[in-house]
Chains A and B, each alone.
Chain A
């Protein structure tokens, strides 16, 4: 479904360019869940950003359902983000000025694929029914991440990209959130690529990739 070939990416730093990705190739099949692990600075987030159309590779190709993503312009990439690929960050996923209900529906409405029944189901499954009128800053970290999961699933994306979604949470909460995420992607039949440095969490997914010094090992 998602296929990336030979991705290169570097960042400018004060000591010259820093080569983060050095020819990474990765494939994710539909409905599959993949863990992406590696040490700090190994390029996990960068790879995730490239696959999520949040950033562009210097070279290499990315295709989704056979359609190339790597040469899309800003508007094209925005359209992919809006409709096909959801991203869950470690924090600050939500729009502070909108309520939980508005946040949950925001992406789906932007994409024009709002499905009220599906929306209700997500809220119920994630246990957000009673929090719908609250604002993000009134929620705990775990609650915020549950809303972020719900929002990302609302468009039934082909692929959910998650960047340490439980990184800020304690273990119990993290497990709970993880359960809900896996349950959710299952129900929406979305594939999942999740960055984590927790072997325990990685083990719960179908497959584990390890990134080291910009290369998959």
Chain B
């Protein structure tokens, strides 16, 4: 009996393959976007954990000092009995991260497991030396002309791990970054403060990188959730349609003696089977999406936070299982309403599907109140919320509130519009639009969210880019940048350039540890290039003079915000040198703390730092010739010489790469919203016969009706778009003024791009028309008899 009944139910799908495809595709899309984002997040977190766990940085206390730890300080601690282990961290000019460890004293760590049981590897690691790198970093290391390397998947991407001796040599320093303090120490040691001046620092509970990037991943998760919700709209409407169309079959089956419970069971089974298939498709699709997006995400994370994330995706069975679970859960959520309706259906209910329902005044009022309440919450959070979480809660309240408000506002607008409508057809068009709002509201909400996200994120990225370009123009004041290979060459280049240019300004930096985090101190010459161009957010009037004398230092906005620094606060940059902050400058896109000191005072404290880079001021028209001459004279490699335009182009390319993922997700979300619209309209189209047939019977041609149908969808899409723009702008404001400040440490001025909104409006229109074209075509290409049959009671 089950078999026969199931076949009867299943035959529906055989006759409506498009409906089945819609259902499967909708669920697969929802699952794919959600689980794809999860996979990306998991991969990134994995990378952070690997980075944090490297050298026990996630758990062990450390000793550090401004300017680094000397080997003598390290040995003094060891000779006092303290079990500490040295670490040096740094970055080569090529961007490759270098971590040096002492395997003899280091705490146990998986990153060195590549050495296990291999005599040659071990003695090689300690002796002549080689680097351990993650597989994806191998190409970078090979290109850099570094020592030989071996693959260790436990080393974080973008980093090379080597013996401390080798690392110090590569980094050209004799200072250790910090000492790790083993958790277990010998008994009876003298207090640490008697043995060393180094400062003991306890690491944050969790990896600082993970904290820093949390907001980004929350962002991704929000996008994933949004897509999932939008996908469920599709599923819901497809299931709803299928159930409505089978009311007759349900009634017949029950009349034939299938109990309600059995019928529900069969329907749940059917839904489960479909969800399983869709889930599997979703896993494949999600993996594809994640794999395609991951390099972009990795680029974003590197650009924004300096976080190294592996660009290749592993396949985790647990992830696949959870994706399947999400698909089943989604199908259950989307199908619950339909199943409930079947359960409530009286045995002798009319089999005629209800095409539409007037939105009851009460329901609309409740929804309006809820929307207003949420928007009020969003406003309160935006103004008084002081944390990242509050920022995201604000975003959530804003988006959900706006979505809930959409049908209410649309109905209100259409009621007003009805008065403006001219002619019988116009009146009908608006009136019918109003009546479609409840049925289409989920799809329209999805469209609103997608459009608002587009406007919001677009405004944010656009504002960021605009600010960034302006800032680059100011900051890249020099016409040419030269990097020499050795100090001697640097001196020769400088001497050669001096008479041939307006100024040769050294660019050099010292890596120090400041307030428990790595910081880079740049030495800049006292020159109008900086005085006139460097964008300062707030500054002492004599900032540049004080910089030159060593009585001041500039800090970047990130550091100032993170450490709560203000003008006048002092920072210990070296033993016996603690200048006050005399200015704060904007430093977009840099995850690290950065400081600027006068080159003279800095050189006095760090005399051994090599100075290999120079900024050259010269007439821009002479720069190409200078580059040629320099290259020939000093045989400099290609990348040793960069002109301003090249640096700008490079910076912008990195910037654009940074927001590639956002763009991709935007398009995907809009696509899914369009698809939701299509399925909703498809659902409606077959139920719309009774509404269209009388109009046709009264003498309106099918062509006119089709145009009216298209116009109605366009009207709804355009109204939704018009409402999405202010929502998107509010979203952008929250992103820029609340989330950005909390997450990145800098605030950006908001710039609006109305041209972009118009384009988006066109896209929304196009999506809506595309989504409605097929249903309308289906409706209109029906044989006339189909319309006539609506009325027929006899032939």
Measured CB to CB, the residues of A under 8 A from B are: 11, 20, 40-41, 43-46, 49, 54-55, 74-75, 78-83, 87, 89-98, 102, 105-107, 109-111, 135, 137, 151, 163-164, 167, 195
Contacts and interface: CB of A to CB of B under 8 A. Distances in A.
Majority secondary structure, B binding face: helix
B694 A93 contact: yes
A109 B432 CA distance: 17
B793 A167 contact: yes
Interface string B263-304: 000000000000000000000000000000000000000000
Given A97-B431, A97-B435, A110-B425, A45 B700 contact: no
Given A44-B794, A54-B788, A92-B693, A97 B428 contact: yes
25 contacts: A11-B785, A11-B795, A41-B795, A45-B794, A54-B697, A54-B784, A81-B697, A82-B698, A82-B700, A90-B793, A92-B690, A94-B694, A95-B428, A96-B690, A97-B428, A97-B432, A97-B434, A98-B428, A102-B427, A102-B428, A107-B699, A110-B699, A110-B700, A135-B358, A163-B791
CB-CB nearest 4 A-B residue pairs: A82-B699, A109-B424, A81-B699, A89-B791
Counting chain A CB atoms within 10 Å of each CB, which of B432, B694, B701 scores highest? B694
A79 B699 contact: yes
A81 B784 CA distance: 14
Contact of A95 (B358, B691, B703): B691
B698 A107 contact: yes
B1 interface: no
B791 A91 contact: yes
Contacts of A137: 358
B604 interface: no
Contacts, number: 101
Given A81-B697, A106-B698, A111-B699, A92 B425 contact: no
B466 interface: no
A95 B699 contact: no
B263 to A, nearest CB: 29
B702 interface: yes
B777 interface: no
Contacts of B693: 92
Interface of B: 355-356, 358, 423-425, 427-428, 431-432, 434-435, 690-691, 693-703, 784-785, 788, 790-795
Given A45-B793, A55-B785, A91-B791, A81 B690 contact: no
A128 to B, nearest CB: 17
Given A97-B435, A111-B699, A164-B793, A106 B356 contact: no
A85 to B, nearest CB: 9
Nearest to A110: B424
A30 B694 CA distance: 26
A46 B428 CA distance: 29
A96 B579 CA distance: 79
Given A91-B791, A96-B690, A164-B793, A78 B699 contact: yes
Given A55-B784, A93-B697, 20 more contacts: A11-B785, A20-B795, A44-B795, A45-B792, A45-B795, A75-B701, A75-B703, A78-B699, A81-B698, A82-B698, A87-B697, A89-B791, A91-B793, A95-B691, A97-B691, A102-B431, A106-B424, A106-B428, A163-B793, A167-B793
Contacts of A54: 697, 784, 788
Nearest to B699: A82
A110 B698 contact: yes
A40 B794 contact: yes
A95 B794 contact: no
Given A95-B695, A97-B428, A107-B698, A164 B785 contact: no
A46 to B, nearest CB: 5
A43 B697 contact: no
Contacts of A82: 698-700
A3 B432 CA distance: 38
Nearest to B698: A107
B791 A90 contact: yes
A166 B468 CA distance: 75
Contacts of A107: 698-699
B691 A96 contact: yes
Nearest to A138: B358
Nearest to A148: B694
Nearest to B689: A92
Nearest to A20: B795
A54 B702 CA distance: 12
Contacts of B699: 78-83, 107, 110-111
A52 to B, nearest CB: 8
A91 B690 CA distance: 10
A78 B794 contact: no
A102 B430 CA distance: 13
Contact of B794 (A80, A83, A151, A164): A164
A94 B432 CA distance: 13
Given A11-B785, A92-B790, A107-B699, A46 B424 contact: no
A11 B786 CA distance: 12
B422 to A, nearest CB: 10
**Taking each of A55, A78, A83, A102, which has the highest tally of chain B beta carbons within 10 Å of its own beta carbon?**
A78
A154 B695 CA distance: 15
Contacts of B700: 78, 82, 110
Nearest to B357: A137
Nearest to A73: B701
A74 B791 contact: no
B281 to A, nearest CB: 35
Nearest to A38: B794
Contacts of A87: 697
Nearest to A75: B701
A78 B703 CA distance: 11
B358 A109 contact: no
Contacts of B431: 97-98, 102
A98 B791 contact: no
Nearest to B418: A102
B215 to A, nearest CB: 46
Contacts of B427: 98, 102
A70 B698 CA distance: 18
A80 B693 CA distance: 16
A150 to B, nearest CB: 13
A53 to B, nearest CB: 9
Contacts of A164: 793-794
Given A45-B795, A102-B431, A164-B794, A96 B356 contact: yes
A28 B305 CA distance: 86
Contacts of A106: 424, 428, 698
A78 B784 contact: no
Nearest to B434: A97
B764 to A, nearest CB: 24
A20 B346 CA distance: 37
B60 to A, nearest CB: 71
Nearest to A85: B699
A43 B795 contact: yes
Interface centre among B356, B432, B435, B788 (most CB of A within 10 A): B788
A78 B702 CA distance: 9
B419 to A, nearest CB: 13
A88 to B, nearest CB: 10
B433 to A, nearest CB: 8
Contacts of A97: 428, 431-432, 434-435, 691
Contacts of A55: 784-785, 788
A41 B794 contact: yes
Nearest to B694: A95
